[in-house]
Homo-oligomer: A and B are copies of this chain.
Amino acid sequence: MNSHMEKPYVVGIDIGGTNTVFGIVDARGNIVSSGAVKTSTFDNVEDYVDDVCKNLLPLIIAQGGVEKIKGIGVGAPNGNFYSGTIEFAPNLPWKGVIPLAAMFEEKLGIPAALTNDANAAAVGEMTYGAARGMKEFIMITLGTGVGSGIVINGQVVYGHDGFAGELGHVIVRRDGRLCGCGRKGCLETYCSATGVARTARELLAARTEPSLLRNIPVESITSKDVYDAAVQGDEIAKGIFKFTGEILGEALADFIAFSSPEAIILFGGLAKSGDYIMIPIQKAIDDNVLNIFKGKAKLLVSELKDSDAAVLGASALAWELKDIKE
């Protein structure tokens, strides 16, 4: 019955625009071995898959071979879980619809599943992290962009087309900041890394007080810089977190009205800014959530290590795969 005994490992592959990282993961979420290739150097996707497999296969053999691997999980931008394809991903070198899950499956003889990075993060958190045992939660990934993975009844919400859960593109300010998606006022324009830098620029321009952030080239301010300044009592840095947290908390209050989750789990650089960001977020949730939901949804930070999370998340998808030819 316990297939973990026969097939104790899964493979996680996280595809980013620059790098692809992969690893072999056990049932407790230990990455037993890992590797990487440069995504951006492969114009041809067949060459890319060949290279990933060439680097991955020795790791698989070292664990006892293909028969020890339950499945392969792939996290990728614009990944469609239903079809196992990447569709028109703007930051990847391959155009159109790429059947990447099938390509890995064929090449390695191991079943493969694929989804976008934020959904993979949600599955990773449910399998190995802060959402263990939860059936209802929302994962928000705060990175270069803002992504989300929504879990309802213990399952990731993929929607009718495989692309559900784009909460980074919910409009939080009508006619607000211009977003990379071409629309205005998306959550992502305020709460992504670039959103925080943008807020820093605006506050530094609008206010005259001294700030440690004035010593940093304004285009390159990160949430880590803001955090370091806030720790030293910098009022502008605290103001940036307050502004950002307030908008995120307002948005989360609306998300709670949708699926009434047990928890909202934040992942990414911004989420590691401690009370400076968490207190404004929690206050904005409390101030804005419908009475019936007050005090119900927990606000948590991911328990997965940043460096491991992408591979763990992708790998977690693979535990539920059926063997090929079953």
Docked Cα-Cα span, A283 to B159, in Å, equals 22
Instruction: Pick from B159, B174, B254, B255: contact of A261, CB below 8 A.
Output: B159
State which residues 170-209 of A face B: CB under 8 Å.
170-171, 173-174, 181-183
Contact status A292-B166, CB under 8 Å: yes
Closest to A262 in B: B160
Known: A170-B257, A171-B288, A183-B288. A293 touches B153 (CB 8 A): no
Docked Cα-Cα span, A161 to B260, in Å, equals 7
Q: 0/1 per residue, A227-256, Cβ < 8 Å to B? A: 000000000000000000000001001110
Q: 0/1 per residue, A146-179, Cβ < 8 Å to B? A: 0000101101011111111111011101100000
Known: A159-B136, A160-B136. A181 touches B291 (CB 8 A): yes
Known: A171-B254, A254-B170. A159 touches B260 (CB 8 A): yes
List chain B residues, Cβ under 8 A from A291: 181-182
Known: A160-B296, A290-B169, A290-B183. A150 touches B258 (CB 8 A): yes
List chain B residues, Cβ under 8 A from A262: 160
Q: How many copies does the complex hold?
A: 2
Q: A19 an interface residue at 8 Å Cβ cutoff? A: no
Q: 0/1 per residue, A264-299, Cβ < 8 Å to B? A: 000000000000000000000000101111001100
Known: A163-B293, A254-B170, A257-B167. A155 touches B153 (CB 8 A): yes
Contact status B290-A259, CB under 8 Å: no
**CB of A167, distance to nearest CB on chain B (Å):** 6
Known: A250-B171, A254-B170, A254-B171. A164 touches B259 (CB 8 A): yes
Contact status B290-A164, CB under 8 Å: no
List chain B residues, Cβ under 8 A from A162: 260
19 extra A-B contacts, CB within 8 A, seeds A152-B159, A162-B260, A258-B258: A135-B160, A136-B159, A136-B160, A150-B258, A152-B152, A157-B258, A158-B260, A160-B261, A160-B262, A160-B296, A161-B260, A161-B296, A166-B290, A166-B293, A169-B257, A169-B290, A173-B174, A174-B250, A258-B259
23 sample A-B contacts, Cβ–Cβ < 8 Å, listed by A number: A150-B259, A152-B153, A153-B153, A153-B155, A153-B157, A157-B258, A157-B259, A159-B261, A160-B260, A160-B296, A161-B260, A162-B260, A164-B258, A165-B260, A166-B257, A166-B290, A166-B292, A166-B293, A169-B290, A170-B258, A171-B250, A181-B291, A183-B288
